[in-house]
Structure 1
């Protein structure tokens, strides 16, 4: 069974399954994260949805680049969690199946191309305190306990 984080699903509400990939990106004692502005205004692990017919690793590389402008190497899957949420940008409720990886940020190639996203380097302890998603924080906490 995959652990659930966040809000309990609303009874009678239909949720569309949305698989996604997210990355813990450590380098030189800091973590590369993304600040997503409107409509969320929150700190997140970089990542997002897997498009139809897209390989999860390809989606991970694409999403990290779109949200941070960085290329990554050596992704390794840590596990998955799920959460039920309202996605205002898509105007729908979703059951997000979140696959979490750890990867090495290699090089900044460009500014983020995803609207309202800003790439930030933060201390891992700060990230634990301010990540908007409890599932992201749980995976980061578990990964930090092993390094």
Structure 2
């Protein structure tokens, strides 16, 4: 008969390699159809098995990411596994000249702030002129010198 709660029965998460490859490539419909055809089970049972495998895979990935972050000294609050909820928008009063930044800009700003704090912790001091500006200045001075020499010779 129909089981309204498929979670109550034990699920075998062991899947064939071809199905695992389809899941990793995000071809879930084909994986469900192939699993159902190969093992002569219903599409619902195949979906439950694939969903169980996906959740197991996500949990393993989160655990690996957490261990890597802990080894690098990153706090657990800084890691967000759900990218949709990581930034909360504040709906303050509207200001005419204020431009609201997008999520990617806020992410870059937080990354930049994190890098700056790490460099400050290491005692690194930023140079007065960036490296690229020094290089541009050297090239400009050399070009001015060459043009001055050419002007004196042919002028």
Calculate the TM-score normalised by the size of structure 2.
Answer: 0.19
Higher RCO structure (Cα 8 Å, ≥6 apart) = 1
Calculate the TM-score normalised by the size of structure 1.
Answer: 0.20
Higher helix share: 2
Higher strand share: 1
Specify the structure having the higher radius of gyration (Cα).
Answer: 2
